[in-house]
Structure 1
Amino acid sequence: MTSPALSPLARWCDAQRDWAAEATDTYEEDSLLTASGAFAALPASEFMRAYRAAGAEVSRISTGPRHRSFTVEVAAGAVVCSLVVQLGRGLNSQECRLAVLADGERQGEPEMLHALALAIRRSRGEPDPNPPYPRPIIGSRSQLEVVSRGIVDVLGQVARGWAS
């Protein structure tokens, strides 16, 4: 399922990126950095709202502090890219599992987006990041907006690619 459309996903974890400059909204309380140097955890509903604002269909899978997950779907005709997003406990990390459904039938096995991002980095001759599997860890509301918008855009590109 590796696709050139997925190459933007390799930038998920760029801590040096100016997310606020790329965001379309402004946030009174943008940074999630706490006094201890960690990030304040956002509720799953805020993640879901960001993906909806980016144009995806979003539905809750589970709730509770241990299982915060939801599904993000983007369709192109009879093709649906379905992304299960599992939020990390106490972190704003997103572990994303992608499946493509054509005419309601899953095409291949679901794939972890961070594994695809790692494969893209390696194919470009880039070193493995530390930790070795890049997952987006959201440090600001503007980063959440930009990352969710980017992921929804990529899901749309993949869906359109399968549909054509």
Structure 2
Amino acid sequence: MNCTSHNMIYEGIVNIFNGDILIEVVEMWKCKKCGATRVSIRGPGITGTNEGVLGAIDPSDGRRWMLIISKGMGSLPPQLYVIPAMPGETVMLNIPNETERELIINAEYNLITKQSMSKPRYVVSYLLEDVIRGSIDLSSWPPSVLSLKNQSR
């Protein structure tokens, strides 16, 4: 269902830590009328109301917000990506310690490598709706996830 003017309500937040250090905050809003969701990514500190806001996506086309995290290597810190995802889509990531850069989103909204059709070793993904109202700690691998919301997949 599409609506002309979204009436967004706040769904929650995911704090992204590396040990005790807050790295980023991901927030999500949901339209009360049509269910479309909007996301923002912010760093620590004071920010404006529109800083880091990504576009809204309509759930009727099968897209859902996905967090993708790549493991840090040496002096390179872990990387966080937030994308609107749909099964069958290809994601291109430049991960130094991952041999395959092309990943596919499967029917369960998990990432698999395009060539070997296996889970990548140094990349993990989460549906934002599964980890909202929680935190992710990147200081271990795989990252530790704490969420107060029930899992949807």
Tell me the TM-score range normalised by the shorter chain. Answer: 0.3 to 0.5
Larger helix proportion of the pair: 1
Larger strand proportion of the pair: 2
Q: Give TM-score, length-normalised by structure 1.
A: 0.31
Q: Give TM-score, length-normalised by structure 2.
A: 0.33
